[in-house]
Structure 1
Amino acid sequence: MILLTPEMRERLLANGREPDADHVPVVKFFNPLGEGVWLATELDSDGDTLFGLADLGEPELGSFSLAEMTAVRLPFDMAIERDLLFEGMVPISVWVEAAQQTGSIRAAERMLYAAVRSNARASDALPVTL
Structure 2
Amino acid sequence: MTETSHTRLLSRKISDYCRIRFDPLFPPQEGARIRAFLLNLISCAESPPRKLRDYDWQEIGILCDLSDEAIRSAQTAIEPALDAIARNTKTAPKPAMIASRRLTKSQPHARERPLQLVTKSVSGWRGKLR
TM-score class normalised by the smaller sequence: under 0.3
Q: Which has a greater percent of strand?
A: 1
User: Normalising by structure 2, what TM-score?
Assistant: 0.23
Q: Which has a greater percent of helix?
A: 2
User: Normalising by structure 1, what TM-score?
Assistant: 0.23
Structure whose alpha-carbon radius of gyration is higher = 2
Which is bigger in relative contact order (C-alpha 8 A, separation at least 6)? 1
